Structure 1
Amino acid sequence: MDIIITHPDGKSHIGFLSKYVNHLKDMNFLREDLVFSIHSEQGTDSGVDTYFGLCTYPGRELRHRIDLKVYPKDIYPFGLIHWTGNDVVNRRLRILAESKGFRLDDTGLFPATHGSGGKRVSGSTSLKFNSEKEVFDFLGFPWLEPRERNI
């Protein structure tokens, strides 16, 4: 189960994941931690907070994988694309971006430039978009609702 979270005010996501994970542990929903990294408070790794772990449903012991990602509002559309698209759609979008001189990942769409030896490197500042659809439109890829991306 993948869950991505943001807050429209662009600030309230900071520190949210630690509180949320503690709440889910208090409920005995989260049982085992695999990865837990907080970057929003330090301003590192694009400010994306991550929790990967195992959870159980009430009254059951079988564990299920759960991934929680908290994104700053300004890069949330890229997180949505990455986590709601299947691997085929994501790969096509990344290849299309590369063919147009960009690098696409879950934190942004970055202009690519040529470094020493002609090797392509990415710029450090992403283009800004307010929605997934704007990213699809910019790349010239037909818009697909998340439920339509399992191709």
Structure 2
Amino acid sequence: HPKRDQLLTKTQQLGLKYLEEFEQKIPREEMTQMETILVREITAIDDQLKAEIVGSYRRGAKASSDIDVLVTHSSATKLPSLLHKIVDILTKKVQFVTDTISIGDSKFMGVCQLDSSKLHRRIDIRVFPSEQYHCALLYFTGNDQLNRHMRIVAQEQGYKLNEYSIQKVGSTGVL
């Protein structure tokens, strides 16, 4: 409906467009196929890149509600155009990404589809410098309850833990 579309944001329009597909869980087998494509295409850009699906998939779940991907480079500390390059390849070269919700220097939110016979799925790709990757891996593997518990334990011992670093409270350096 054209008038309704003018009132909705792009994110809302995509949410409505794919609502029934997004409500269905992604079977682990499909996630594994997606991981193969993502790792192949991302490491083809630079063999020093590492890509990993995190969240419930990394925790071993049989199904997931979306795909969360972490990317890092073994030596680069600044990766300004990397995410745009990854999304461009996943969109144009392999037609895996079908829609972009938002994209910045380090976070992409969008829609992907394994092939035309499969459902559209929500995908988030986050790029982290190598010195932040392990904290990001821990944080984005989760789950939320574990993350809260780890932050409390860290705080009790005088540390601050988040997806970027673990630091002694009051310190500016990363451990």
TM-score (norm 2): 0.56
Q: 1:80 offset after TM fit, Å?
A: 0.5
Q: 1:10 offset after TM fit, Å?
A: 2.4
1:3 to 58, 66, 69: 69
Tell me which residue corresponds to 2:139: 82
Equivalent pair of 2:77/2:131 in contact (CA under 8 Å): no
Report whether the alignment pairs 1:17 with 2:83.
yes
Equivalent pair of 1:31/1:54 in contact (CA under 8 Å): yes
Report whether the alignment pairs 1:51 with 2:137.
no
Report whether the alignment pairs 1:28 with 2:95.
yes
Equivalent pair of 1:10/1:74 in contact (CA under 8 Å): no
| Pair 106,61 (structure 1): closer, same or farther in 2 beyond 3 Å | same
Equivalent pair of 1:110/1:126 in contact (CA under 8 Å): yes
Q: Secondary structure at the match of 2:149?
A: helix
Q: For residues 34-92 of structure 1, give each alpha carbon's deviation from its aligned partner in whole angstroms, at most 9, with x where no partner exists.
A: 22111xxxxxxxxxx11111111112362111111111011111110011121121111
Tell me which residue corresponds to 1:127: 174
Matched pairs, number? 108
Equivalent pair of 1:54/1:64 in contact (CA under 8 Å): yes
Distance of 1:80 and 1:25 partners within structure 2: 25
Report whether the alignment pairs 1:97 with 2:148.
no
Distance of 1:4 and 1:16 partners within structure 2: 12
Distance of 2:139 and 2:133 partners within structure 1: 10
| Pair 98,85 (structure 1): closer, same or farther in 2 beyond 3 Å | same
Farther off after superposition, 76-85 or 8-17 = 8-17
Q: Which runs of 4+ in 1 moved over 3 A?
A: 11-14
Equivalent pair of 1:108/1:126 in contact (CA under 8 Å): no
Q: Secondary structure at the match of 2:122?
A: strand
Tell me which residue corresponds to 2:164: 107
Distance of 2:83 and 2:158 partners within structure 1: 34
Equivalent pair of 2:98/2:111 in contact (CA under 8 Å): yes
Q: 1:127 offset after TM fit, Å?
A: 2.6
- Runs (5+) with no aligned partner, structure 2: 1-66
- Runs (5+) with no aligned partner, structure 1: 39-48, 114-122, 129-151
Amino acid at match of 1:33: T
TM-score (norm 1): 0.64
Distance of 2:115 and 2:124 partners within structure 1: 18
Root-mean-square deviation (CA, aligned residues, Å) is: 1.9
